[in-house]
């Protein structure tokens, strides 16, 4: 769903984080919102989940673009810092067929850009028995 500007995008991010923090499924360690203009900005944050995994996320967005996330990374690691998975659109070597991809412990493969909500849900689903 398109947003009308960066402040609305930042509120959307907060609406994703608030419920998992309120239920105790995660603790918000940090969040930083750096509005660069009415349409552009950078958001970074960190969540610690009840299963001891951690999500480190960052997004640089321009809400005037058809794909507003110009840069993103959603990095999930265990309590010791070992990668569980990461979605990002950073340049990759060897080159991938598309910029959006997912790292796992076994591979790097093309993957559509997820939303923060989708990443949080993936973490919560993987921690269920």
Q: State pLDDT tens for residues 48-105.
A: 999 999 999 999 999 999 999 999 999 999 999 999 999 999 988 777 878 899 999 9
Query: What pLDDT score does 43 carry?
Result: 98
8-state DSSP, 3: -
pTM: 0.93
Query: What pLDDT shows up at residue 80?
Result: 95
Q: Mean of the per-residue pLDDT values for the chain? A: 93
Of 80, 58, 59, 9, give the one whose Cα is nearest residue 38.
Answer: 9
Q: Which two tokens stand for residue 11?
A: 């509120």
Question: Stretch 12-22: mean pLDDT, rounded?
Answer: 96
Q: How far apart are CA 85 and CA 74, in angstroms?
A: 8
> CA 122, CA 37: separation in Å to the nearest integer?
31
- Locate the domains of the chain by residue range: 6-126
| Locus of tokens 């360690």 | 29
Cβ pair 46, 120 in contact under 8 A: no
């Amino acid at each position: 769903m398109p947003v009308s500007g960066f402040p609305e995008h930042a509120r959307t991010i907060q609406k994703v984080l608030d419920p998992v923090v309120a239920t105790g499924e995660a603790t918000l360690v940090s969040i930083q919102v750096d509005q660069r203009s009415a349409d552009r900005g950078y958001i970074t944050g960190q969540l610690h989940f009840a299963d001891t995994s951690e999500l480190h996320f960052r997004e640089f967005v321009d809400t005037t673009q058809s794909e507003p996330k110009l840069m993103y990374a959603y990095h999930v690691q265990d309590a010791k810092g070992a990668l569980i998975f990461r979605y990002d659109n950073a340049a990759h070597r060897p080159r991938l067929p598309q910029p959006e991809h997912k790292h796992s412990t076994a591979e790097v493969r093309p993957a559509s850009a997820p939303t923060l909500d989708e990443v949080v849900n993936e973490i919560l689903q993987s921690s269920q028995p």
